[in-house]
Amino acid sequence: MTRLFLLLALTGLLATTGCRRVRFEDSVFTKKQVSYKVGELPNYWHRVFVEGNDLAFSEQDTGRALSINSTCEGHDDPPLPVLIRHLLMGFTDRQEVSQQLVPLDGREAMRSRHTAKLDGVPVDLELVVLKKDGCVFDFTYVAPPGQAEARMPDFDALLAGFHTERDR
């Protein structure tokens, strides 16, 4: 009986101290320090779980994938071009195709397109990095060479719907 009482007390304490888990509902992702909304994706994108990413989606049998990640601690506030370079780590034969500053959720973000190889396999990359409210947000779209444009409107819609909500 004492053990049951302690378990109930601990459960009540956790509920009142705001202990939250990672959630993704109605296009809103929430974890300990951040909450943000993303634009909706068509049904052919399926959520997958990739270590180190908040959200990841793939399109079955195409080699296309999208991912979103937020980092709110330990990033040392690097400039946007440095953040892009961090996303390119692990890729070889990297060639920048374009890079520009774009508006995203009321801030200036950097959008960059590259061709590269991952484990010797050629890929096209579309990368976006944003700093807001003490957090770094990165968005990655990977596709086989020549196949990125077909789903670029989906990536653009995901970005267009992005909006942060300060943690309560």
Give the per-residue pLDDT at 75.
80
* Residue 44 · residue 54 · CB < 8 Å: no
Counting other chains too, the contacts that 85-91 makes at CB distance below 8 Å and 24 or more residues apart are 87/127, 87/129, 87/138, 87/140, 88/114, 88/116, 88/125, 88/127, 90/118, 91/116, 91/117, 91/118, 91/123, 91/125
Our measurement of the distance from residue 135's CA atom to the centroid of its chain's CA atoms, rounded to an integer in Å, reads 12
DSSP letter for 166, please.
-
Q: Would you kindly state where each structural domain of the chain is located, as residue ranges?
A: 21-165
Give the per-residue pLDDT at 33.
84
Superfamily in which the 21-165 domain is placed by CATH = Mog1/PsbP, alpha/beta/alpha sandwich (3.40.1000.10)
Which H or E run includes 156?
Answer: helix 152-160
Average pLDDT over the chain reads 86
Q: Would you state the structure tokens that stand for residue 1, as one six-digit string?
A: 């009986």
- Per-residue pLDDT of 98-141, as tens digits, reads 999 999 999 999 999 999 999 999 999 999 999 998 899 999 99
pLDDT: which is higher, 97 or 51: 97
Does the pTM exceed 0.75? yes
Is the model's pLDDT at 20 over the cut of 60? no
- Per-residue pLDDT of 44-76, as tens digits, reads 999 999 888 999 999 999 999 999 999 998 888
Q: How far apart are CA 154 and CA 42, in angstroms?
A: 7
Give the per-residue pLDDT at 77.
82
Give the per-residue pLDDT at 166.
64
